[in-house]
Amino acid sequence: MKQELEALHRESLERRLRTHVSIPESPGYVMCGERVLLDLSSNDYLGLARHPAIIEAMRDALLKEGAGAGASRLVTGNRQPYAQLEKALATWQNCDAALVFANGYTANIGVISALVGRGDVVFSDQLNHASIVDGIILSRAEHARYRHNDIEHLRALLYKFRDKRRKLIVTDTVFSMDGDQAHLLDLIALKQEFNALLMVDEAHSGGVYGPRGEGLASALGVKNDVDIHMGTLSKSFGIYGAYVCGSETLIKWLMNKARPLIYSTALPPSLIAGAIQALKLVQTEHWRRKRLLAASEFFRSSLCKAGFNIGNGDSAIVPLMLGHNHKALQFSSALENEGIAAIAIRPPTVPEGTARIRFSLSAAHSLEELTDAITKICRLGLQLGVVE
């Protein structure tokens, strides 16, 4: 272990934990050591993580329900707020039923391993989140990876595996490290043609897209063509947890078959009560989505004009491509010196040779704060030879 850790260190691939301290009076900032940093790395897209109504709902539930749920949901852990949240989620998504999981990671491994097994096949975009990859491995189904957003490659694989028992196509709707979108309309056409199921992971689009933040599938008007709709309560909702929405049968099946749900203690009821409140805000406070959208467009176009390579996404996730691991670390630490928290993302989270800074924007930030950040990023880009 020591030798391999030293090798990781030499290749600028070592990861370490650092302590960040939140600042109650300054949402959108964190402290690290002595420094106050503009937080351009968290996924609190709508700026809800410090919302007083959510905190109040959590505190009330904490006093009423206690600290922990005490048991799995199928034992005695299914406390009162769960039913209310799941009903509200199903109504929001306009589907039969919803099921809350402990987090996005276990939702994905739980759902995929419950739906497919030996003799089945999962078609998965090469850039899908690690939890999807782990779910496929755990399921023991055949793993057919298609090149990122390459619909013709997917078609060829669907044809190759057309005789498998069950076929599942799974995709992030907004890719977490690139910020671009899946081609949902094409995926739906293929799923229909080859009689496959379609699962979408809306971790980065839930709360952000759609008239009431339902997600990208709703925004594109194809919600009813998606069989399994998964999203998280940890990003736009500002709390923790995840949901899966779909048919009555799907949800019943998952209650009976999804092992992370069955064999793990229920989330504390206070989190669930907070999520109920967060869902109300997600649906009604449209100005947060508008503000996030404006911030994303402004930030992207400014970095693009300055000559940075920021890929071809159009979401609140903005990757600044640097290539070398060392360069990414260097850029990140220079940004930190300038008062900006922007974390370097390196392999294996992203493919070899594509290390980057991943900026994520939030409705918590003003355009003035972003303008200041952009000025600093541009200056460092010149200094470090990233742009000319």
Residue 104 in contact with ligand PLP, rule: CB under 6 A = yes
- Residue 74 DSSP one-character state: I
Identity of the amino acid at 145: R
| Distance in angstroms (rounded) separating the CA atoms of residues 198 and 191 | 7
* Total interface residues for ligand PLP by CB under 6 A: 14
Among 105, 243, 299, 359, binds ligand PLP (CB under 6 A): 105
320 token code pair: 């600044």
Residue 149 in contact with ligand PLP, rule: CB under 6 A = no
**Least separation in angstroms between CB 202 and ligand PLP:** 8
Q: Which is nearer to ligand PLP, 108 or 218 (CB)?
A: 108
Span from 62-70, 103-111, 139-147, 380-388 in contact with ligand PLP (CB under 6 A): 103-111
Residue 205 in contact with ligand PLP, rule: CB under 6 A = no
Residue 316 in contact with ligand PLP, rule: CB under 6 A = no
Q: Which is nearer to ligand PLP, 111 or 320 (CB)?
A: 111
Residue 232 in contact with ligand PLP, rule: CB under 6 A = yes
Residue 242 in contact with ligand PLP, rule: CB under 6 A = yes
304 token code pair: 């693009």
| Distance in angstroms (rounded) separating the CA atoms of residues 49 and 240 | 10
Name every residue whose Cβ is closer than 8 Å to that of residue 210 and which is 6 or more positions away in sequence. Answer: 216, 218, 219
The three-state secondary structure class of 126 is: coil
**Least separation in angstroms between CB 119 and ligand PLP:** 26
What is the enclosing helix (H) or strand (E) of 276? helix 269-284
196 token code pair: 């496959």
Q: Which is nearer to ligand PLP, 176 or 362 (CB)?
A: 176
The three-state secondary structure class of 107 is: helix
Neighbours of 295 (CB within 10 A): 21
| Distance in angstroms (rounded) separating the CA atoms of residues 240 and 62 | 15
Span from 64-72, 116-124, 197-205, 219-227 in contact with ligand PLP (CB under 6 A): 197-205
Span from 18-26, 97-105, 297-305, 329-337 in contact with ligand PLP (CB under 6 A): 97-105
217 within 8 A of 173, measured Cβ to Cβ = yes
Q: Which is nearer to ligand PLP, 172 or 214 (CB)?
A: 172
Q: Which is nearer to ligand PLP, 216 or 374 (CB)?
A: 216
**Least separation in angstroms between CB 261 and ligand PLP:** 14
